[in-house]
């Protein structure tokens, strides 16, 4: 068996996630493409594909149980994180992956083509210039700037009523929470368990007040 697949299976076994055979193959395929393109395009500082499984794949898909709704946008997606792993985990939901760098969007489009992922739209744009026709149920960000920047730059993206911001963070970001604007409220902070990842991970869920 592919050593990456064996490693992924061992990691998933340490979680409560339900991941089909096809999804596992797509997640491994994504890591293989990321590793291949990374040599020329420098898409991530993580060089070892086994490490990518922990730091990129598991770190993304542990958020999947907390997604509510149908339409999601991953802002500052980089090489497609957490958007591509989450889209693989949720084939019945729609994802828009937004990044300002063309090389990242080109990579994502290649991934979508090769792995036959059809629930993702990849767009090159700065987030503050992106004007969607419809709001999103969830606005995701992983390696984005501070949460203050996230909510200020992305305030126009969630649906008016039920849309939320989902910020993937390391340690509980108390200083960032203290600096959030008046119109923004913290719904929940989830401590995430990522197998074999050193350090803490948290998912901060925010919404508009009222």
User: Diameter of the chain by CA atoms?
Assistant: 53
Residue 128 known to bind ligand: yes
- Tokens 């108390």 belong to 174
Are 123 and 104 in contact, with CB atoms under 8 Å apart?
Answer: no
Do the bridges between strand 94-99 and strand 120-124 make them parallel or antiparallel, or are there none, so unpaired? parallel
Instruction: Compute and round to an integer the Cα radius of gyration of the chain.
Output: 16
What are residue 48's phi and psi, to 5 degrees?
-90, 120
Is 106 annotated as contributing to ligand binding?
A: no
Q: Which residues pair with 141 in a beta bridge?
A: 167
47 marked as binding residue? no
Place of tokens 């090489």: 79
Say if residue 176 carries a ligand binding annotation. no
127 labeled part of a ligand binding site = yes
CA distances to 5, 12, 208 from 21, in Å: 10, 12, 38
Roughly what angle, to the nearest 10 degrees, separates helices 21-41 and 3-12?
120
In the chain, count H helices and then E strands.
8, 7
Binding annotation for S-adenosyl-L-methionine: 76, 81, 127-128, 142
Binding annotation: 76, 81, 127-128, 142
């Amino acid at each position: 068996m592919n050593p990456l697949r064996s490693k992924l299976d061992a990691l998933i076994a340490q979680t409560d996630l339900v991941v089909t055979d096809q999804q596992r193959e797509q997640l491994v395929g994504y890591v293989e493409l990321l590793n291949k393109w990374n040599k020329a395009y420098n898409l991530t500082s993580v060089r070892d594909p086994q490490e990518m499984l922990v730091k990129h794949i598991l770190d993304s898909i542990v958020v999947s149980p907390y997604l509510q709704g149908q339409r999601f946008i991953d802002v500052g997606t980089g090489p497609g994180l957490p958007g591509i792993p989450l889209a693989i985990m949720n084939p019945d939901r729609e994802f828009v992956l937004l990044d300002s760098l063309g090389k990242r969007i080109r990579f994502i489009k290649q991934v979508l083509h090769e792995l036959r992922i059809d629930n993702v739209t990849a767009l090159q744009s700065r987030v503050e210039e992106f004007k969607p026709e419809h709001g999103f149920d969830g606005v995701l960000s992983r390696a984005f700037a501070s949460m203050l920047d996230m909510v200020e730059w992305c305030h126009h993206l969630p649906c008016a009523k039920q849309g939320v911001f989902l910020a993937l963070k390391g340690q509980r970001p108390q200083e960032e929470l203290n600096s959030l604007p008046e119109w923004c409220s913290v719904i929940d902070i989830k401590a995430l368990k990522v197998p074999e990842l050193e350090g803490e991970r948290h998912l901060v869920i925010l919404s508009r007040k009222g």
